[in-house]
A and B are shown apart, each in its own frame.
Chain A
Amino acid sequence: MSPTVTAAIFSLNHPAHYVHWHFFQVSVSNVVVVVVMLFVFVLAVALPFPGAARRRTARWQESP
């Protein structure tokens, strides 16, 4: 992707946007990163690991 196209999508030619609440101030880009991290964390906890059920079954069958 050429720099021109990228610049058209993500225009950085302006001051950063901030979320400001009392003493707390954080840039919108950092908020986006934190939200994405939380989303990925929930996925990591909720999504089953490939092959985990098969391993559990095999282990259960092996147990006396």
Chain B
Amino acid sequence: MSATAANHAAGDRGKAVSPSTSWTTRARAAAVRAAAVGTLPPEQLLPDSQPTYVASWIYVFGLAALAALVVIVGSGILLSLKGLAWWHYTAVGRFFNSIHLWAVELFFFTMVIHLWGKFWMAAWRGGRARVWVTGAVTFLIAIPTALTGYISQQNFDAQWISIQAKDAMNSIGVGAVFNVTNFGQMYSYHVLILPIVVLSLVLAHILLVCRHRVVPPFELDTRRASARISPKRESLRPESPRPAPVSERHPPADRAPS
């Protein structure tokens, strides 16, 4: 008996046969759940506190980029559903067209500041290479995503940009497969392929940040590294500074010494 027929038969008896009752499905779900929870425990996914060095404006710009991306996706879905006549010839359509454009501008503005900050902090330290790479590649993929968007406007501006970009694409040898004067191809890239890549990378970036935590400042990283050196090895390296005991830590500037 097929699954559909079994469902019909069970439905006749007032009880549906759910696919989740299959032991293979349950085992697979349990394995996936165990792997996901093992990789990223819930308390790590949504921590209720962060180290003090996370209190920095650089992370505000990362979050602002994320907020801009939400607006971009929301307005983009609306624009694609309503069509080009709507975004060109109606007041509401032009409004959402502008929302989409300026959210992109803000996305790049805030993402680049976040990227600069993380670059000068060497955010790939401590096994965080994948965190850095997903962020940097997101920026790189966002560029053709924006380009295909400018080309997909369906106006003279889009024509001008596509003709200019054509020479650039031909000069690097990809003009035959990435034809910027082909609206259908560019629109598909803009509303489907590239957004999926960008959103996947952003999701991976966020999950990796949750898994590896935020990179500590250089000073703290050095102190932790020297604390990991055993006394025997440390005695062989007299130039390496011994970490100060907790009782000898300098109090913060805003706390008067007792």
Q: Which A residues contact B (CB, under 8 angstroms)?
A: 33, 37, 40-41, 43-45, 47, 49, 51-53, 55-57, 59-61, 63-64
Chain B count of residues within 8 A CB distance of the other chain: 18
Shortest B251–chain A CB gap in Å is 7
Are A53 and B252 within 8 A (Cβ)? yes
Shortest A62–chain B CB gap in Å is 11
> Cβ of B218 < 8 Å from any Cβ of A?
no
Are A44 and B58 within 8 A (Cβ)? yes
CA distance A56 to B253 in the complex (A): 10
Shortest A18–chain B CB gap in Å is 14
- Secondary structure at the B interface, as helix, strand, loop or mixed, is helix
B57 is contacted by which of A43, A63, A64 (Cβ under 8 Å)? A43
Are A63 and B116 within 8 A (Cβ)? no
Q: Which parts of B211-256 form the interface with A (CB within 8 Å)?
A: 246, 249, 251-252, 254-255
A47 is contacted by which of B57, B113, B117 (Cβ under 8 Å)? B57
Are B117 and A57 within 8 A (Cβ)? no
Shortest B81–chain A CB gap in Å is 29
Shortest A48–chain B CB gap in Å is 9
Shortest B37–chain A CB gap in Å is 29
CA distance A59 to B55 in the complex (A): 13
B252 is contacted by which of A43, A45, A47, A56 (Cβ under 8 Å)? A56
Are A60 and B55 within 8 A (Cβ)? no
Are B249 and A60 within 8 A (Cβ)? yes
Q: Which parts of B88-109 form the interface with A (CB within 8 Å)?
A: 109
Q: Which residues from B are CB-within-8-Å of A40?
A: 109, 113
- Secondary structure at the A interface, as helix, strand, loop or mixed, is helix
Known contacts A44-B61, A60-B251, A64-B246: A52-B55 contact under CB 8 Å: yes
Are B112 and A59 within 8 A (Cβ)? no
Q: Which B residues contact A (CB, under 8 angstroms)?
A: 52, 55-58, 60-61, 109, 112-113, 116-117, 246, 249, 251-252, 254-255
Q: Which residues from B are CB-within-8-Å of A45?
A: 57-58, 117
Are A44 and B57 within 8 A (Cβ)? yes
Residue of B nearest to A59 (CB): B52
CA distance A51 to B58 in the complex (A): 15
Q: Which residues from A are CB-within-8-Å of B255?
A: 57, 60-61
Are B117 and A52 within 8 A (Cβ)? no
Most buried by A among B52, B61, B112, B117: B52
Residue of A nearest to B105 (CB): A33
A55 is contacted by which of B55, B60, B117, B251 (Cβ under 8 Å)? B55
